Structure 1
Amino acid sequence: MKVIQHFYSAETKWIDVLVNTLGGTIEGNFLIADNEIYCGRHYILEMEERIWGIVIDISYRDNLLLEYINKKNNFIGLYFYLTDKDVNFILDNESTILGKTDCNLIVIDGALDTRYAVTQGTEVYVICIFIDKELLQEFVEKIPRLKLASKDIFDEEKNTIISMGRMGIESIDLIRDFKKIPYDNSLFELYFRALSYNLIGHFLERLLTQKIIISKVIEDDVKSILASKVYLLENVDEVFPGVEFLSHQAFMSASKYKKLFTKITGLSPGAFFYSNKLQRAKELLETGGLTVSEVADKLNYTNISYLAKRFNNKYGIFPKEYQSFL
């Protein structure tokens, strides 16, 4: 697998970094390529002095490990993914899937280096936004409910900003609508600025609805939580193993494990497991090969009524009704 390293910070001239590592031709704010690594384009825009935005719309022609190594930790990266295949976010040898089913939004502190593994043929559409931490703190402090917490959120001695979860439907709809705009549209830059600031706004709104957990996170912690996520996804057909078992696997106390899992994924271990179990139930129903009762048995639900109640709470329809519409 070919390794490509990007060295960057909030002040990075991104178009220079990308052309040096991936190749291509610079045309204004676009980097366009059709080479052995990828085909497609990047659009890079410095929206203001301390905010950069990038559109990545490419198809990879090789199996690659993309390493993003930070020169400074003075920024936060927001990554919004639309992909046709799975992309693996990696720390050491542990990974979490980005894209269709698991995680399509990463918010990550510049203090953490990142790696992504992509396979040949993967098509990726990503909106990346890099924001200077001091500027982001100014945004946060304008929100009355977050003003008191902002000092701790941005205190590098106390907290590491990291989240790996799912975009809200509003963000997905905005990105899909933006994707329809031709690159040669004379207002493309204006539309991209509007999209970027809207996505930043959605991120700030999520802070209002999520429990803010102040905790320092090191790469080994993230690696352990990613490994735990993989374990839960691979065993989603089984009964929830319990926090004590999972924390022991992660070499953490139960309280630390639950705290970090919730901080990184936005969900408690149990909520994450049962949400993905219901997603699995939905997928099994869509095959048409199993009855609702058989799905309940396969996924180790205590009874069909419990599955039906959970399914209706999540999707607004009972599983038998859902199957009848397929």
Structure 2
Amino acid sequence: MKKIFHFYSLTPEWLHKLAEQIETNVIEDKIINFPKKIGFGSLYFSQITSSISIVFMDVILNTPLEICREPSENELYIFHYDLSEHVNLIKINNENYEIGSFDKLDLAIIDNQIASSFKPNVHERTFALRILVDKSLLNDFITQYSVKLHENKAYEQSNSSFYHYGHIDSNSTLLLKSLKSKPINDLSFDSFVKGISLKLLGNFFSKFYDAEHKTDIVTHTEDEAIHKTEKYLLDNLSGPFPSLTFLAAMAGMSESKYKTLFKKCMNITPNYFFITEKMKYAQKLLRSGNYNSLTDMLYEFNYSKLSYFSLQYYKHFNRKPSEDFVKNIK
């Protein structure tokens, strides 16, 4: 796996070090086009204000690549939004985190003084936006976030530097999707991506501060109960959804409380979480090459009608199951 190293700053000087390592040039202090031997696509940089800049990546790699960001003295926080149609890996403090649009977690916020790396999947379209924000703009947010960590020890980080790993709201997902159809060589792209980025930040902080006024904090015991049922669902994806009554009893709660707390913890309802994970698992089975036909896979997966499965699959991936099916040739 090829490794490239870079640092971040709010101004474009860092781009040239990155371009040099992948043997290409920077166009107008904004654009790096990936050479064909690495992949197809571009990286786009723009400064919104003196305190906020953005890095946009839309690329399909044809060789494994690890993009290593080195810590620097620049006082920044990095908001990494990922809406790839697969799971990529971010490494923070030597720990790998899955991130992507079909995973429940698609946002990482990283202190620029913590080293991190990004490993995009090969032969898949990687679509990510990073917003670089001067720390001086976020003092109040970081103070309040630290207080919340101390109130809930289950989420307290092991070191003193700040990072956050979580999910985005549906409105932000739609904003990011709108970028997918906008080519970077469009004359309006720069203004468009800047506007999207500011709206994303606005959505994040609006959601964060709204939560500050809520008193229904999830306790550590409740959190453990919810994640116990999450594990059960993930361990039983080949079967039918077990019902809210069953899951609520496992968590020791009423159905209404269980459903509310599950959505609060996972940002998704139990049933939709199960279907989403089931479809992700189905995609792995389809691509495994272990089945002679779609019907063989469906029986093992507890579906009796191909038409119903195909509809669910298309809703999640915008693809037909047959497009991902790899037939057993042995």
**TM-score, normalisation: structure 1:** 0.61
Q: Is the 8 A contact 1:86 1:99 kept in 2?
A: yes
What residue is the counterpart of 2:187 in the other structure? Answer: 186
Distance 1:69 1:236, change over 3 A: same
CA distance in 2, matches of 1:93, 1:35: 30
**Which amino acid in the other structure matches residue 46 of structure 1?**
Q
Q: CA deviation digits over 1:251-305, x for unaligned, max 9?
A: xxxxxxxxxxxxxxxx99x94599678523455489794799x79xxxxxxxxxx
* Matching residue of 1:77: 78
What SS is found at the alignment partner of 2:83? strand
Which residue does the alignment assign to 1:63? 64
Cα–Cα, structure 1 residues 5 and 291, in superposed 2: closer, same or farther, change >3 Å?
Answer: closer
The answer to whether the aligner puts 1:237 opposite 2:243 as a matched pair is: no
| More divergent stretch after superposition (191-200 vs 97-106) | 97-106
SS across alignment from 1:192: helix
Separation in 2, partners of 1:235, 1:151: 32
Per-residue deviation, 1:115: 1.7
Please report how far the alpha carbon of residue 324 of structure 1 lies from its aligned counterpart in structure 2 after TM superposition.
12
Query: 1:236, 1:277 within 8 Å by CA — same for their partners in 2?
Result: no
**Offset from partner CA, 1:209-238 (integer Å, 9 cap, x none):** 4469xxxxxxxxxxxxxxxx9xx7698316
Aligned to 2:220: none
Correspondences of 1:6-25 after superposition (within 5 Å): 6-10=6-10, 13-25=13-25
Task: Give the drift of 1:194.
Answer: 0.8
Contact 2:22 2:35 in 1 (8 A): no
Given that 1:80 and 1:105 are in contact with CA atoms closer than 8 Å, whether structure 2 keeps it comes out as yes
Kept in 2: contact 1:24–1:35 (CA 8 A): no
State the SS of the aligned residue for 1:78.
strand
Q: Which residue in 2 is equivalent to 1:116?
A: 118
- Report what 1:300 is aligned to: none
Match of 2:274 in 1: 280
Report matched runs for 1:292-311 at 5 Å: none
After TM superposition, give the deviation of residue 114 of structure 1 in Å.
Answer: 0.9
1:125 is paired with a residue of what secondary structure? Answer: strand
Say which SS state the counterpart of residue 168 (structure 2) adopts: coil
Corresponding residue SS for 1:48? coil
Match for residue 106 of structure 2? 104
Alignment partners' CA distance in 2, 1:274 and 1:50:
34
AA paired with 1:165?
G
Q: Give the secondary structure class of the aligned counterpart of 2:34.
A: strand
- Quote the Cα distance in structure 1 between the aligned partners of 2:160 and 2:33: 38
Question: 2:270 & 2:43 partners in 1: Cα distance?
Answer: 33
**Which 5+ residue runs of structure 1 have no aligned equivalent?**
141-145, 213-228, 240-266, 296-321
SS in 2 for 1:120: coil
Residues 9 and 72, structure 1, Cα contact 8 Å, conserved in 2: no
CA contact (8 A) 1:77 1:110 kept: yes
1:29-68 alpha-carbon deviations (Å, 9 max, x no partner): 2222323222211111111222111111111121122211
Gaps of 5+ in 2: 149-158, 214-226, 237-241, 243-260, 283-294, 313-330
SS at match of 1:83: coil
For residues 77 and 58 of structure 1, do their structure 2 counterparts lie closer, same or farther at Cα, with a shift above 3 Å needed?
Answer: same
1:148–1:105: structure 2 CA closer, same or farther, 3 Å change rule? closer
Aligned mates of 1:65, 1:283 — CA distance in 2: 27
Match of 2:27 in 1: 27
* Aligned CA distance change for structure 1 residues 198 and 37 (closer, same or farther; 3 Å): same
1: CA distance, partners of 2:173 / 2:268 = 23
**How large is the RMSD of aligned CA atoms in angstroms?**
4.1
Letter in 1 for 2:4: I
Contact 1:104 1:167 in 2 (8 A): yes
By how many angstroms is 1:133 displaced?
0.3
Percentage identity across aligned positions?
18
The answer to whether the 8 Å contact 2:61/2:122 transfers is yes
Q: 2:89–2:120: 8 Å Cα contact kept in structure 1?
A: yes
Partner of 2:70, secondary structure, is strand
